[in-house]
Amino acid sequence: MVAVGLEAKKAVLFHLLNLNLLMDLGVSPPDSTPAPTNPVATPSHVCHILYGEEVCFSLLPPWVSTSRPVLKAPMAPVQIGTSFTLFTRLNYSVPAILDPNNLHSIINAPFIPDRPFKVITHGYFSHGGVSWIKMMVGELLRASDQNVIVVDWSVGAIPPYTQAVANTRMVGSQLAYLIHAFSKFADVPMSAFHLIGHSLGAHLSGTAGSHLRNNFGLLLPRITGLDPAEPYFNGTHPDTRLDTSDAQFVDVIHTDDAPILGFPLSLGMTEPIGHLDFYPNGGFQPGCSSGTHCNHHRAITYFTESIRQSCPLLAVACPSFQQFMDGECWGCEGENQCSPMGLSARPLPLPPHTKLFLHTKGRSPHCGYHYRIIVEISNTTEARDHMGEFAILHLRLTGNRDTTKPIRLSQQSVYYEAGTTHKQVVLTQDVGRLRTAGVYFEDLTWLLPRFSRRVYAKAITVEPLGKNLKWRLCFKTPYQKLDHQYQLSVKDSAC
């Protein structure tokens, strides 16, 4: 009951804040004048003719609930004017138009046989020619000789938001018909299709998957949701949104947990809804200090960068982002399994709605290499008599490939008490096989009247994520003075 109440309050806040013009990227779609229509409606459903067949949409629960108090019927296909365009390496500058009403446009489409189909769908108040879609199409075609379909439903994605939400049901059904036509008439196997949708486009892709399953007995192999929209979808029935039943593998990237104007409402979903749910940085993206859309858009950036794989976006299954950063979830075996986030994500033998976490950089390229740093404090009589010390550890790693910039392990002072162990995950470049580590403990309490300021550190262990490697470096001195530099070597591993 508490969860339902919270979602109902969020829905009310959504209407009070009048977010119609704030969702998605805020890019005006091309002008178009909807054609009039006269659908046959009843209190329980509305029906439209879709590619020669009647398709009906329920107006009863779960399509209306406390989380979505305003219910609208989907607009007619002629009003929305959905278009599908096919890009390949051979026709990148002049894409082919696909029309399920005209089977010749599908059978004779210039697609590359026996190659994958990536289907990209935009979200609210956007269109198929927006810059991020052009960039994603280009990256996909540079990476592989494949087929890329862009879904443009820009007229159906304009305000009011509640109407756009309703229209995802119609456009999702249209997309399902297109995929079915390729499967039935062009001999394209279902295993070729991968749907990629942002914001409302993520839920639209889920609708396509459920329509294919329920109406044609076909199951999509994969849907990737890029920060699926939260308003009208958080806390709702799985039938109304993207869900694990919509494809064999549903992976979701959640990047927006930032409150809007101080209200407990974000543009992107926080609820796990996929087989694997990735939460980079816990939902607050570095470099997004301002702007409503930055966090919401970052899921697109991460996925696009994952296509080139300049460095890994490796995530770890963990209960929370804080536990991940504290080094409590590590390694890629057992419960703490790993998966790349983005294009290379693959199913894991874990329960649905498994949360995975990773850290990213604030600037592009956002990917990097995770290392777990473990600091061991001696438990000698001298260390216990000293009664611990407050300090901030700075680390500089040098390997056979590279040397990192100084890494600050914490923002605030840590109390290094005798016999304790401190773990922290950091993100930096790949140093290769570790050779040395430069260490110093920063003193932020030097004004306090204490004569001897020292840390009794015994050793530091460095573990790269995703590799069966571990380096333990020992201090040569029984204690370390604050604000003094110390150089540790992997050769000194006995302590």
**Segment (H or E) for 343:** none
Say whether 256 is catalytic: no
Report the half-sphere exposure of 276 (CA within 13 A, side-chain side). Answer: 29
Q: Which two tokens stand for residue 152?
A: 């443009």
Give the per-residue pLDDT at 258.
Answer: 77
Compute the distance between CA of residue 446 and CA of residue 44 in angstroms, rounded to an integer. Answer: 72
Residue 18's φ and ψ, nearest 5 degrees, are 50, 65
Catalytic residue among 199, 205, 266, 378: 199
Say whether 296 is catalytic: yes
Compute the distance between CA of residue 252 and CA of residue 427 in angstroms, rounded to an integer. Answer: 22
Residues of the chain with CATH 2.60.60.20: 369-489
Decide: 112 and 145 in contact? Cβ < 8 Å.
Answer: yes
Beta bridge mates, 154: none
Compute the distance between CA of residue 137 and CA of residue 97 in angstroms, rounded to an integer. Answer: 16
Give the per-residue pLDDT at 32.
Answer: 45
Give the per-residue pLDDT at 26.
Answer: 38
Decide: 312 and 361 in contact? Cβ < 8 Å.
Answer: no
Please give the model's pTM, rounded to 2 decimal places. Answer: 0.92
Catalytic residue among 227, 246, 256, 443: 227
Q: Please give the CATH number for the structural domain made up of 2-358.
A: 3.40.50.1820
Compute the distance between CA of residue 442 and CA of residue 484 in angstroms, rounded to an integer. Answer: 8
**Strand, helix or coil for residue 377:** strand
Decide: 316 and 425 in contact? Cβ < 8 Å.
Answer: no
Question: Domain 369-489 maps to which CATH number in 2.60.40.2250, 3.40.50.300, 2.60.60.20, 3.90.1150.10?
Answer: 2.60.60.20
Alpha helices in 157-311 (DSSP H): 161-185, 200-216, 294-308
Give the per-residue pLDDT at 492.
Answer: 78
Say whether 246 is catalytic: no
Residue recorded with tokens 């919270």 = 6
Compute the distance between CA of residue 322 and CA of residue 325 in angstroms, rounded to an integer. Answer: 5
Whether the CA torsion 142, 147, 153, 157 is positive or negative: it is negative
Q: Going from the first residue of the chain to its last (495 residues), give the mean pLDDT of each consecutive group of 10, the final group possibly shorter.
A: 51 50 43 48 84 95 93 97 98 96 97 98 97 98 98 98 98 98 98 98 98 98 98 96 98 89 78 98 88 88 94 96 96 88 96 97 96 98 93 97 96 95 97 97 72 89 95 96 95 81
Q: Which two tokens stand for residue 141?
A: 């075609």
Catalytic residue among 194, 275, 296, 386: 296
**Strand, helix or coil for residue 386:** helix
Residues of the chain with CATH 3.40.50.1820: 2-358
* Tally of residues, the chain: 495
**CA Rg value for the chain:** 26
Give the per-residue pLDDT at 264.
Answer: 61
Give the per-residue pLDDT at 334.
Answer: 74
pLDDT digits (tens, 9 = 90+) for 406-438: 999 999 999 999 999 999 999 999 999 999 999
**Segment (H or E) for 79:** helix 77-80
Decide: 494 and 440 in contact? Cβ < 8 Å.
Answer: no
Decide: 468 and 462 in contact? Cβ < 8 Å.
Answer: no
The residues near 212 (Cβ < 8 Å, ≥ 6 apart) are: 176, 179, 180, 218, 219, 220
The residues near 125 (Cβ < 8 Å, ≥ 6 apart) are: 20, 21, 23, 24, 25, 26, 27, 28, 29, 157, 158, 159, 164
Residue type, 242: L
Listed in order, strand segments (DSSP E) in 174-282 are 193-198, 220-226, 247-253, 276-280
